[in-house]
Amino acid sequence: MSLPEARVDFPEFGKVAPAAQAALLALGKAVSDSGLERSLTELVKLRASQINGCAFCIQFHLTMARQLGVAAAKLDLVAAWHDAGIFSERECAALAWTETVTEVSQGGVSDAAYAAVRRQFSESEVVFLTVAIGAINTWNRLAVALRFTPQIPRQATGASAA
């Protein structure tokens, strides 16, 4: 099965909208500079990308998480984190917050959800965690709408080297 053809692929997006790309990258840098654990933010970005069905971002953030040394079992089970039993309380709080913020149209963000994330994160950390979630949701919407092509290694596609 072949991938759907990109409408505007990632490299082209950067050429067409360099200021928009720079703004989104600046959000990412702000999150990186905030002190939040990079492994945690990659799990958050992966989970939001799964919810949004963004193949490009799922592949990208799996690669980033692997490079950071995130355990394979966590990457395998992030979609079912509620039942996996291998995520820390802090990771669970971040993943729950990710789902709430990503699915905001399903009923908003309750005070109980905010209180739950605040038990694990400082006010500043919640703000930057929310920025990370907002940014990945924007990337997901761009990548899904424009059909950014995932960067899948040839061996993973079953294609033989010619």
Tell which CATH classification among 3.30.420.480, 3.40.1080.10, 1.10.3330.10, 1.20.1290.10 matches the domain 18-151.
Answer: 1.20.1290.10
The proportion of the chain whose per-residue pLDDT surpasses 90, expressed as a percent, equals 88
Give residue limits of the domains in the chain: 18-151
pLDDT at 151: 81
| Angle of helix 123-146 versus helix 38-52 axis, rounded to 10 | 40
Rounded to two decimals, what is the model's pTM?
Answer: 0.90
Cβ distance 59 to 153 under 8 Å? no
Average pLDDT over residues 4-28: 93
SS3 38: helix
CA 112 to chain centre: 23
Question: Residue 77: CA atoms inside 13 Å, Cβ hemisphere, count?
Answer: 14
pLDDT digits (tens, 9 = 90+) for 89-112: 999 999 999 999 999 999 899 999
pLDDT digits (tens, 9 = 90+) for 129-159: 999 999 999 999 999 999 999 987 655 544 4
| C-alpha to C-alpha distance for 141 and 138, rounded to whole angstroms | 5
pLDDT category at 5 given cuts 50, 70, 90 is confident
pLDDT category at 20 given cuts 50, 70, 90 is very high
